[in-house]
Structure 1
Amino acid sequence: MRIAQEEIFGPIVCVMKFDSEEEAISIANGTVFRLATSIWTRDIARAHRVAHRLDCGITWINDHHRIDPASPWGGFKMSGIGRENGIPAYEEYTQIKSIIVNMSDNPFDWFEDDGQPKRYS
């Protein structure tokens, strides 16, 4: 069904029947959009087992759309590029650069061979 294959943003829920855990995982992973999923169950061990097999950016267990600003937000496949929130988002907007300063008055030559062991740090 189209409703189960597109990324719909709105107050809509798509409910589909399944006969086994394997079938539920297959249905959930069978789309090109993989932003988020919700698992509703009293069996928390099962919920974690299924959550680890779902190919999506975020999975809620017995909850939906609760967002922690420290938790990365973003989807897989056709559901966005990169991450918002958390350290991964910070890393997306920064570049690491090293600056090394020699504060000594003595010259330093990496290639000088004076027979003495060199201390480079």
Structure 2
Amino acid sequence: MGNLSLSSSRMRMLIAAVAVIFAAFGIRLVQIQAVEASSLSQRAMNEIMMTSTMPAPRGTITDINGVEFARSVSSVRVVADQTLIQNPKVAARIAAPILKLPVAQVEASITGSRRWSKVADLVTPAQWRALNAAF
């Protein structure tokens, strides 16, 4: 009978410990869902809307004599939302010389109703800045 009362006592202690753990989880859940909900929501929105540049410079690739095989070169891909361009002919005449592309090619890539259209690849940062300044 001594073992039965010891076992019963241990079970009560185990149930009490589990109840305390569940109570702690419940209190934390209420704290997060009710008390801190607006501040956590605002913090999450700030993190979603924040942009950050993460540079990933590539190491130099050299041959056995130390001569560079390849190096990192910055380039930009120019894309357009065709639905936002009100006058594609004028925009193409402005952008084509900067991008060093035929006016007809630029006009074809910015005319239409697509929300994403590639205009040019491998545009240098200087060309990109000039294009931004032109518009």
- Could you say whether these structures have the same fold, taking a TM-score greater than 0.5 normalized by the shorter chain as the test? no
Higher fraction of helix: 2
Structure whose alpha-carbon radius of gyration is higher? 2
When normalised by structure 1's length, the TM-score is: 0.23
